[in-house]
Structure 1
Amino acid sequence: MTGFPRYAIYFAAGHDSALTRFGAELLGYDAYTGNELAFPADALRVAPDWRDVSADPRKYGFHATLKAPMALTPGRTETELMAACAAFAGKARPLPVIRPVVDAISGFIAVIPAEPIEALQGLAADCAREFDSFRAALSAEDRARRRPEKLSERQRDYLDRWGYPYVMEEFRFHMTLTGRLDAARRGPILEMLRARFAALGMDTLKIDRIALFKQDDAKARFRIIGEWDLRR
């Protein structure tokens, strides 16, 4: 069984960002404050069951995964992990800039890059590698929950090596807004989300920070406990 607390290194756009407000309102949860928020009226018009539609991503807060949730390996501490985040952020690197769009990905809807960005793939790979010494090994139950029989051979290898199948070449940046939707429901919801996103007027998004999220126990949502600007 998964140990707790769990930690994850994510991209979050900043507490005062319009993108953060956009995501938090749609999920009904602000990972910066831990507060619940009222759902937007247009979301409820298109999907009266919006609470259920957004239930899966709400647990994690609005984010893009860079290092997937993990319990700490014995002997490592939260203080050490925060120091490692600061050290990682302090290393000079190219800062990825994406053209964000709202689209469907693997059955759910998310903010994603319009095209692949090499520097973004590199940032995610660096996170997977450099924080892995903090990760407790997957239990047999945790591995089974990933449904390895449905993964490709490479994804299974990555699951066993990195504790998460969607790393390295399998990584796809996404900031999730819904759970999985069947095709019949997806169209109207996608149209509504694209209209809301267009109102932000966000032509580019710089991936210029990392945030440390923490989940205290199995019933808790993830909350942001630290964030660091990446050094150009």
Structure 2
Amino acid sequence: MPRYAIYFAPHAGSLLARFGASVLGYDASTGADIEPPDHPLFHDPASLGWTAGPRRYGFHATLKAPFHLVDGRTAAELEQALQEFVRTQTPIDITLNLALVGHFLALVLAEPSSAMQDLAAACVRHFDLFREPLSPEDRERRHPDHLTVQQVANLDEWGYPFVLDDFQFHMTLTGPLEPRDRAKLEPVLRDLLRDVPLSTTVDSLVLLRQESANDRFVMQRRFDFAGA
């Protein structure tokens, strides 16, 4: 069964989108592989392992984590709900920084944004009626024994632990890194980002679809905010 996800992703063709797609080696807006950055480090076979996890999802920030559609709901209804939802939203200006999140590198907000927190919370709540509840197997894959009490409660109520007060906007660039690999990769990413505008506007949401567990997510449609 396919899964769906609701993300922020920079507009295709923007320098930020091209940077993220090249680092991951995949462009979810087209479903195509992308040439890596022109740097020797990205021609090291090890670099494919560093980005293997996020490559399946494309360059994005999660707003509604991947879910199966609950019985009785259709993809067309989900798209209609998204179209209606974005009509109530206004663009949010953000600035990004490269940072370590847990053991992986990602672009995060340079400054806290209550508007971004509110948008993420609204997405979690508004689209939950489309989400099939987690199976016991899917729940265990989230390693609830490694989560806080609140994160376990989030997992059970919303299907994902890092929502609402536990949400942190981030655009993942790597999987978990060993310290020695991070020491090699981080300065290269910072150098590549010198030519990338890190101020952007969240003025749309994208709907992605994954056909099966072994497939990558592919963008189905972009939904522009009313004020975009």
The question of a shared fold, defined as TM-score above 0.5 by the shorter chain, is answered with yes
- In structure 2, the residue matched to 1:218 is 213
Contact kept in structure 1, 2:36 and 2:42, CA below 8 Å: no
- Normalised to the residue count of structure 1, the TM-score between the two structures is 0.94
Structure 2 gaps of 5+ residues are none
Q: CA deviation at 1:44?
A: 2.7
Q: CA deviation at 1:43?
A: 5.9
Report Cα offsets for 1:71-106 as digits up to 9, x if no partner. 00000000000001111111144x322211111111
Question: Is 1:134 aligned to 2:140, yes or no?
Answer: no
- Normalised to the residue count of structure 2, the TM-score between the two structures is 0.96
CA distance in 1, matches of 2:42, 2:82: 41
Which of 173, 178, 182 is matched with 2:178 structurally? 182
Bigger shift: residues 208-217 or 189-198: 189-198
Report Cα offsets for 1:126-148 as digits up to 9, x if no partner. 00000000000000000000000
CA distance in 1, matches of 2:155, 2:175: 22
Q: CA deviation at 1:208?
A: 1.1
CA distance in 2, matches of 1:39, 1:206: 25
Report Cα offsets for 1:164-216 as digits up to 9, x if no partner. 0000010011111100002222122111111111211x141211110000000
Letter in 2 for 1:42: H
Question: How many residues matched?
Answer: 227
Question: Is 1:54 aligned to 2:51, yes or no?
Answer: yes
- In structure 2, the residue matched to 1:35 is 32
The 3 A distance-change label for structure 1 pair 92 and 32 is: closer
Give the SS at the match of 1:210.
strand
Structure 1 gaps of 5+ residues are none
Q: What pairs with 1:1-232 in structure 2 (closer than 5 Å)?
A: 4-42=1-39, 44=41, 47-93=44-90, 95-200=91-196, 202-232=197-227
The 3 A distance-change label for structure 1 pair 92 and 114 is: closer
